Chains A and B, each alone.
Chain A
Amino acid sequence: MYSEKVMEHFRNPRNMGEIPDADGVGRVGNPVCGDLMTIYIKVKDGRLEDVKFKTFGCGAAIATSSMVTEMAKGKTLEEALRISKMDVAQALGGLPPIKMHCSNLAADGLHAAIADYQKKQQSRK
């Protein structure tokens, strides 16, 4: 049911863990729906120096989390904000249709982490 790429990320998730002194944290999903993700970012000179995730969810939720951290790392905030759910799914060689909606939350998580970072910057000014 899953592509080899999804299974590979499920087997060896990249950037799994927390960033204790993160500059931004994005939490999306809801365990009631079966998926919950936390994305942590570290920002330096407008770029994502580090991105990490923790995820409760199915194989697709774990693979998309892993993939989005890999895609976002090293990108500018603007570039990272342009990463869409579609991009993540495509990079994984596609997702089963029922997983497109419920478990493809990782891009939202990334965007939420960036928004959190930007809000903190605002309030610091």
Chain B
Amino acid sequence: MPRRIYLDHAATTPVDPEVVQAMLPYFSERFGNASSLHRFGREAHEALEAARRSVAELIGAEEREIVFTSGGTESDNLAIKGLVLAQGKKPGGPHVVTSRVEHPAVLESCRYLESLGFQVEYLPVNREGLVDLAMLEKAISPATVLVTIQHANNEIGTVQPLEEIGEIAREKGVLFHTDAVQSVGKIPVDVKRMNVNMLSLSSHKIHGPKGVGALYVQGNLAPMPLLHGGGHEKNLRSGTENIPGIVGLGKAAELAAQRMEKDRKYLTGLRDRLIRGILEGLPKSWLNGHPTQRLPHNAHFGFAGIEGEALILGLDEKGIAASTGSACSSKKSEPSHILRALGLNDVEARGSLRLTLGRENTEEEVDYAVEAVCEVVCRLREMSPLWEEPIIKRQLT
């Protein structure tokens, strides 16, 4: 059996066996529709509400503030389009303030609003991927109804200062949505402390099943629903609830809450070992994103003289699953909008590698990955007309 090492946990995570166990009864045994009055329905309804409790607890929200959706993408769409459409257009400035490093689910929702005549301001970030708070403050106008800025970046792992952003939004009297798909379950998230009015999360990034997520919607806020129908989820998201999926998300949230501190320490250790190994092993390599304000499981590298896709292929040959950036952009040939926003030039943005760790990875796997990355990068540099220096083969220590 060839080795298989999964280092792409920002793309998705394996479903935890405990989560699978929790879900199983809800397929054929407790299969009821949560809206039904009979026992089958009540069983499903109880499971739905228990899951809501677990998700609410993970992010410091009230149960009634959790709306289940089909995932991070839908949560972002509901928050942004739903809220702005519900509020309508006011004259005099941008209606939405966001950043240039958002996930496409946020960026494309904003572009859609622009096509309807709303104005959106896309804030730049610095070399480390952080939004400038003074610029944010300046960008908010009397017409602004929503600030939407991610908690942690899906490619480079930079964590934004949410509390401060939330404070600015509160002072200016505008609502604040955050895409926390990458951070929830990895680092502490507390919607009250962070002054967040809406927050998106997704199950499959925290060892839950795919196709389910949630939007936290504070108090009585009422975004316009995207899906009209039978009035499920407080009328914000019609459609018979995906009970097995939601139960899975609930269990994943519960496990994340229990394990977060331990996982965070463990993953930070592995991450730093990975970063040290690769940066020491390869000349002209660098870390993208923030050196310390970054997700505990994210390491994102740049390498001079090579192209990322070839690196991913070379690593795949060695049994390592990695990515150049987000899973969505790996089939397009454009360099990532996130790396461009950091100020990397096109060539620098090409030679990138994202390794994202999970709780099942080991130190030994990290060491193997360091060796493999160094080997493949050297091989590609030998082939590259852009690399003119001698290839230094690292001495293994």
Contacts and interface: CB of A to CB of B under 8 A. Distances in A.
Interface in A1-40: 1-2, 7, 10-11, 13, 16, 27, 31-38
Contacts of A37: 385
A34 B350 CA distance: 7
Given A32-B346, A56-B383, 13 more contacts: A2-B313, A16-B382, A27-B385, A31-B386, A34-B307, A55-B383, A56-B305, A58-B307, A58-B310, A58-B333, A59-B309, A98-B333, A103-B333
A35 B383 CA distance: 12
Nearest to B308: A58
A7 B384 CA distance: 18
B385 A10 contact: no
Contacts of A55: 383-385
A110 to B, nearest CB: 15
A57 B310 contact: yes
Contact of B313 (A31, A38, A59): A59
Contacts of A11: 317
Nearest to A38: B385
A58 B311 CA distance: 8
Contacts of A112: none
B386 A16 contact: no
Interface of B: 305-307, 309-310, 313-314, 317, 331-333, 335, 346-347, 350, 382-387
B383 A31 contact: no
Nearest to A32: B346
A61 B308 CA distance: 12
B3 to A, nearest CB: 16
Residue of A56, A57, A98 ringed by the most chain B CB atoms within 10 A: A56
A54 interface: yes
Interface residues of A, number: 27
A8 to B, nearest CB: 11
A58 B309 contact: yes
A59 B385 CA distance: 15
Contact of A56 (B317, B332, B333, B386): B386
For the complex of A and B, 6 pairs with smallest distance between CB atoms: A58-B309, A54-B385, A32-B346, A56-B384, A59-B313, A38-B385
Contacts of A7: 313, 317
Interface of A: 1-2, 7, 10-11, 13, 16, 27, 31-38, 54-59, 61-62, 98, 102-103
Contacts of A62: 310, 383
Contact of A98 (B313, B331, B383): B331
21 contacts: A2-B313, A13-B383, A16-B383, A27-B385, A31-B346, A32-B346, A35-B307, A36-B386, A38-B385, A54-B385, A56-B305, A56-B383, A56-B385, A57-B307, A58-B307, A58-B333, A59-B310, A61-B307, A61-B310, A102-B333, A103-B333
A37 B317 CA distance: 23
Contacts of A38: 385
Contact of B347 (A2, A32, A59): A32
B304 to A, nearest CB: 10
A7 B313 CA distance: 9
Given A10-B310, A10-B313, A11-B317, A54 B333 contact: no
B171 to A, nearest CB: 42
Nearest to A99: B333
Nearest to A37: B385
Contacts of A36: 385-386
Contacts of A31: 346-347, 350, 386
Contacts of B331: 1, 98
A36 to B, nearest CB: 6
A31 B308 CA distance: 12
